[in-house]
Amino acid sequence: MRGRILIAEIRGFCSGVERAVQLVERAAAEGPFPVRVLHEIVHNESVVEEFRKKGVLFAEELDPAWEGGTLIFSAHGVSEKVERQARAMNVNLIDATCPLVKGIHRKAVELEREGYRILLIGKRSHREIEGVVGRVHRPPVVLESQHDAETVEFEPGAKYACLTQTTLSVDDCAGLFRILRRRFPEIRICGGICNATTARQTAVKKLAARCGRILVIGSGKSSNSRKLREVAESCGAEAILIASIAELPDSWLVDGDIGITSGASAPEHLLREAVEKLTALGWTLER
């Protein structure tokens, strides 16, 4: 009997990833060489590997000894200190930070100027959060969980505002906002989740309403891809996050409909390969 393959209406590369990838592609073709990228340009092993094959170098830290060539900031953005260091180096600097992440940087600076203490919802170790934290003088308090929101201390008389990482779960953040508002009703909730993240989560919810099993193509390092799996599960679907179809366990190859989506940093060819494998095994793509 096998089943249908249902594809999420909105999935895959967002505009910020598309832009970052194009900037590296152009630099890899035109130089000046060597081309170095600070951090993975986007969180996807396949994208990074393709660029490595073209000679692009990836580094976790700036090295002041770099001389000449091109230096590219990843889509996740960097702190002000790193940007200042890079601008002082003798390199051709390309800033591939997503414009929406830059919008969060600007908002954080504006809020601090207006006298707000900033609470930042996100993952402490994520490059985007490191970049936002490094844009203001007084480090924001990072909240990773409902427990953090329940226990963060509010200083009497201080003003508070809340920003978020761009790639979080809309529903999870709404829960944290409720807690913060209950504990500190005057808090200014500024949000931060981008439209690309919201649209992909809405699309995966629609998919979960139509089928009970969902493959999310994306890297385990990709925040928005992990959230797509969590959102699908929260809608009652069985969901799995895989970097490529080669990782799909045989236990998933049982008859029944399968939904597929992909994270904002996952190239479309990975989704096509998944569809090709499933159709070769007897599933039917619904058009």
Q: Which is nearer to ligand SF4, 103 or 236 (CB)?
A: 103
Ramachandran region, residue 69 (left: φ > 0; alpha: ψ -120 to 50; beta: rest): left
- Is the N-terminal amide bond of 32 cis, ω within 30° of 0? yes
Q: How far apart are CA 120 and CA 141, in angstroms?
A: 6
Count of CB atoms situated within 10 Å of the CB of 174: 12
The first and second tokens of residue 40, run together, are 């993975």
Would you say 100 or 211 has its CB closer to ligand SF4? Answer: 100
5 part of the interface to ligand SF4, by CB under 6 A: no
- 100 vs 258, beta carbon nearer ligand SF4: 100
96 interacts with ligand SF4 by CB under 6 A? no
Which one of the spans 15-23, 133-141, 241-249, 254-262 is the region binding ligand SF4 (CB under 6 A)?
A: 15-23
**Burial class of residue 183 in the structure, from the number of CB atoms within 10 Å of its CB (0-12 exposed, 13-18 middle, 19+ buried):** middle
Question: Under a CB-based contact definition with an 8 Å cutoff, are residues 218 and 245 in contact?
Answer: no
- Contact between 17 and ligand SF4 by CB under 6 A: the answer reads yes
Among 167, 201, 222, 244, binds ligand SF4 (CB under 6 A): 167
Q: Check binding of 21 to ligand SF4 (CB under 6 A).
A: no
Considering the rule CB under 6 A, would residue 224 count as an interface residue with ligand SF4? yes
Q: Which of 2, 4, 10, 15 binds ligand SF4 (CB under 6 A)?
A: 15
- Out of 70, 164, 169, 197, the only residue in the binding site for ligand SF4 (CB under 6 A) is 197
Nearest-CB residue for ligand SF4: 16
Q: Quick check: 136 and 112 in contact, CB under 8 A?
A: yes
**For ligand SF4, which residue of 91, 101, 111, 121 counts as binding (CB under 6 A)?**
101
Instruction: Work out which of 21, 71, 75, 237 binds ligand SF4, going by CB under 6 A.
Output: 75
d(CA 78, CA 129): 9
- Between 127 and 213, CB nearer to ligand SF4: 127
Query: Do residues 170 and 198 lie in contact, with contact meaning Cβ atoms separated by under 8 Å?
Result: yes
| Closer of 34 and 95 to ligand SF4 (Cβ) | 95
Task: Report yes or no: 219 and 43 within 8 Å, Cβ to Cβ.
Answer: yes
Rounded to a whole number of angstroms, the minimum distance from the CB of residue 197 to ligand SF4 is: 5
- Whether 30 sits among the annotated catalytic residues: the reply is no
Six-digit token string for 252: 């998933």
Catalytic one among 40, 128, 130, 230? 128
Helix (H, G, I), strand (E, B) or coil at 148: helix
Please identify, using beta-carbon distances, which residue of 75 and 242 lies nearer to ligand SF4: 75
Number of neighbouring beta carbons within 10 Å of residue 110: 13
| Strand ranges of the sheet holding 141-143, from the earlier edge strand across to the other edge | 141-143, 116-121, 159-164, 188-191
Q: Report the residue from 162, 264, 271, 278 that binds ligand SF4 according to the rule CB under 6 A.
A: 264
CB 5 within 8 A of CB 286: yes
- Would you call 190 helix, strand, or coil by DSSP? strand
* 28, 71, 194, 274: residue in contact with ligand SF4 (rule CB under 6 A): 194
Residues that bind ligand SF4 (CB under 6 A): 14-17, 75, 98, 100-101, 166-167, 194, 196-197, 224, 264
Catalytic machinery residues: 128
